[in-house]
Structure formats: C-alpha cells, structure tokens
Structure 1
Amino acid sequence: MKATNNIIIVAGGKGLRMGGELPKQFIPIGGKPILMHTIEAFYRFDKEIHIILVLPASHRDYWAELCCEYHFVVPHVITLGGETRFHSVQNGLQLVEKGIVGVHDGARPFASKELIKRCFDEAQEYEVVIPVVDSTDSLREVMPDGKSRIIDRTKIKSVQTPQVFTVDVLKKAYQAAYNETFTDDASVVEALGKDIHLVQGEPTNIKVTTPIDLKISELILSSQ
C-alpha cells in the first residue's frame, strides 16, 4: 500500500542577504517566483502529495496576488510561520496526519524528481533520511586559542533538503522545547536518539540565498 506523502515547505525567509526588500522566495527566475518552482518540483514527484506551505502572516496576501498573477493552481494549503524555523515546522506538522513527511526550504527550487523519490522511498525503511553532498573546499577548524587545523573533508558532508521522516517520528521529535542547537529537522530528530540515514544529494539542489545564486539559478534552468 502506498504511503501518504506530505511535504512542508518553509518559506519564512526575509531575504536580507539579497540586499532588497522582496523576500528571496518571491524573486522570479525563469518567468515565475522561486517558490512556485519549489512547489512544482514536489507536484511532479507525486500529483497527490499533500503540500503545506508555511508563510509569515505578512506574506499571505502577497502570495495570493502572485498566484492570481501567474495563474498558479498547484493544490496546496497554507499555515502561518512561527518565531523561528523550528516553530514554523511545528505549525506545519499540525496539518499532517499520517504517512511520510518531508521538510523543504522554500528557496531551494531545483530538487529533482529522482532525488525527492529517493528520499521518500528510503524514509519508509529508515524513518529518517537527509540528502547530502561532498564538500569540495578545503576546511579548517578554528580552535579556542585562535589557531586552526585542517579537517579531513572526506568526513564532512553538506546537508540539503528535503529531509524526510515517518510522520510519527517527526511529530514526536517536535514535541521537544526549542533549542538553539536545532539547526535543521534532522538535528531535532537526532535529539531523540534516532540515527540519520544519508542519501546522495545533488549539486544543483542549491538554496537561493545571494545574488550570485540567482545567476546560478538561471544557468540551472537553462540546462534543464
């Protein structure tokens, strides 16, 4: 029996590193806002997926205007964001009942159908799945005395989304009180003592954060 698929797309960023007033998830690339590309990626994967979009209250009306302007009709429900990303995911989870649930960055529009499928399929077996990519840079750790030392980059992975879980596990994890060490959903679940299963991510699965990322996004779109 096919598990019910859910995706919580967190789109609460203010886009300050873009240097403008328009939040990054609403900036157009390839003829439409980034957030629409993100939602469509999951709809391509599963036409029946339950899409939950988490938006700040101040952005809801603007999103509705964009949907009208771009004739965007992919089914989704909206809930309000919280004080932090942690609280935003908590709010999204209230609209999830059963099955498998992913959490994804609203400004990460290029997750392929194959990557999404890999994460959701393996979550049915491993309960906690996150995509990662190798670090291509040399890395150094800064010590308390100000000195630094090389880190073996073969042991370091860069974490992406969607991070995908069984619903029961993620809901149990998010019953915890907020902690500043929770940098992503996997770290919240890890606090339960759960092992994190890694799958291969994609170099093109970037999070659009800076103006340079917009240029890269256009190149990715033109190659697809």
Structure 2
Amino acid sequence: MTNKAGVVVVAAGKGSRMGTTESKQYLRLQEKPIIIHTLEVFERSSVVDEIVMVTGTEDVQRCEDWIRQYKLSKVVHVTAGGHDRQESVLRGLQHLTTEWVMVHDGVRPFITEEHIRQCYDTAVSAGASVLAVPVKDTIKQVNADRHITGTPDRSSLWAIQTPQTFRRSQLLEAHQQAEQQGFRGTDDSMLVERLGVTVAVVEGSYTNMKITTPDDLDYAAYLLERKGEGQI
C-alpha cells in the first residue's frame, strides 16, 4: 500500500435528463469526452496513485481505447458497473490497492488539484472528508401534498459534491454492511456515517458542477473556455 489515494470515477449512468441518446459522460466538450476531462485532472494530481473507472458494460471497450488514446497511465482498470451507483462504487473499490480512496462523479470535470489535495489531507487528519458548498437558496421541507412543513436553518445546510475521501478498508466495510442489510444510500458518506465515522466537510467551489442537463452542458462549455483563458 501507499500513502497516496486511489480514485473510483463513476461513469456508469445513462443520464436521462440530458435528453440525448449518448450517455452524458461521453458527450463532448471541446472535442473531448466529458469523462476524459475528469480523468485528466486526477491523472495530473500528485495525490493520486491509481484510478479505476466504472462504466456501463457496453462501454468498457471504448473507454479502454480512450485510456490508451489519451495516455492516462494511472487508470489501472476499467470495470462494468452494477445496477445502481452504490453497487458500481463497490465494484470499483475491489480493484484498488491504496490505503485511501476517493469517489468522484465522472461528470464533474471541473474539480481542481487544490481541492483534491485538501480533501485528501482532511481525510487523513480527520478520518474522512467530503467536498461541499454552502447552500445559497432558502430550503423548504414539503409534504406529499406540496405544503410547506418547515424551513431548515440555511447556515447549517451544505450541498455535497465529490470527491468524497475515506480509508479504503472503512468504505469497503460500509458498502458490504449496506449490501447485507439491504440499505441504499444517496452517497458514499451516508454509508460510512452509519459506521459511526465522523466525516469532515471541505469547502469546494460552485464551479465543481455535475453535468446532468443541456443547460449544464452549455455552462460547462463556457467554464472550459474561461479556464483556457486562465479566468477560473
């Protein structure tokens, strides 16, 4: 094992909200698939030793071809995902050997080296970490009849992003326990929290967006153009 991190990059979803026949992670930004932009950030990171990409069964071959084409030497394996994100992450974890692991959405290409480093350092010191940003809007709790039942204090609410960073052994334990108990979580942190592990929040950036809709894709193209001009 090393003291650096492995990364599970999850790119097995179909992304129906994008409204395209092609899966969202393979749509092009500046003539390059979104997933490749994401992988390249981790490829350059001094924190990262190895990467596992999780994709759809039918997409494994083309992703392996892209790994060679774009010379992504840290990608040690491309594996087929499961029936949902939780199972896909578990499959990815089984191909890593590092002591620490990050889980990242394949459609968040604007993660930065600085935030990767902060997430890793915080996890090592605190036990686990997630990247997040403070919620900007007022949030309402609404019942099945769409009547407001409460207004949480906005100062305590954060929108969770990725990467999320954990000791690999603990994340494996959390996933295996969830599988045994039939529990489905909305993110990996939720599974680890069930073990009683404290998870620290690292403040991220609102530009670390998850590309899920056509509007997101337009904004991503704008951000990539600004990035090329050195403005973000």
Deviation, 1:187, is 0.4
**Structure 2 Cα separation of the partners of residues 192 and 145 of structure 1:** 34
Q: 2:192 aligns with which of 189, 194, 200?
A: 189
Residue 132 of structure 1 corresponds to: 132
Check conservation: 1:18, 1:24, Cα contact below 8 A: yes
Check conservation: 2:171, 2:192, Cα contact below 8 A: yes
The answer to whether 1:171 aligns with 2:172 is: yes
The answer to whether 1:216 aligns with 2:206 is: no
Residue 32 of structure 1 corresponds to: 32
- 1:52 aligned partner, one-letter code: V
**Structure 2 Cα separation of the partners of residues 171 and 67 of structure 1:** 26
Q: Structure 1 stretches of 5 or more lacking a match?
A: none
Larger CA deviation: 72-81 vs 102-111 = 72-81
Structure-2-length-normalised TM-score: 0.89
**Structure 2 Cα separation of the partners of residues 11 and 33 of structure 1:** 12
Check conservation: 1:38, 1:108, Cα contact below 8 A: yes
Deviation, 1:35, is 0.3
Aligned residues: CA RMSD: 1.9
Matches within 5 A, 1:109-128: 109-128=109-128
Residue 199 of structure 1 corresponds to: 202
- 1:40 aligned partner, one-letter code: E
Structure-1-length-normalised TM-score: 0.92
Residues 137-194 of structure 1: per-residue CA shift (max 9 Å, x gap): 1211114665313332111100000000111211211111334540000001011111
- 1:12 aligned partner, one-letter code: A
Larger CA deviation: 208-217 vs 131-140 = 131-140
**Structure 2 Cα separation of the partners of residues 67 and 130 of structure 1:** 27
Deviation, 1:62, is 3.0
Deviation, 1:87, is 0.7
Three-state SS of the structure 2 residue aligned to 1:110 is: coil
Residue 73 of structure 1 corresponds to: 71
Check conservation: 2:86, 2:184, Cα contact below 8 A: no
Three-state SS of the structure 2 residue aligned to 1:36 is: helix
Three-state SS of the structure 2 residue aligned to 1:9 is: strand
**Structure 1 Cα separation of the partners of residues 188 and 194 of structure 2:** 10
**Structure 2 Cα separation of the partners of residues 146 and 67 of structure 1:** 46
- 1:88 aligned partner, one-letter code: S
Three-state SS of the structure 1 residue aligned to 2:176 is: coil
Change in 2 beyond 3 A, CA 1:221/1:144: closer
Change in 2 beyond 3 A, CA 1:82/1:144: closer
- 2:78 aligned partner, one-letter code: I
Deviation, 1:25, is 0.4
Residue 98 of structure 1 corresponds to: 98
Aligned length: 222
Three-state SS of the structure 1 residue aligned to 2:13 is: coil
Change in 2 beyond 3 A, CA 1:188/1:47: closer
Matches within 5 A, 1:53-68: 53-67=53-67
Residue 42 of structure 1 corresponds to: 42
The answer to whether 1:15 aligns with 2:15 is: yes
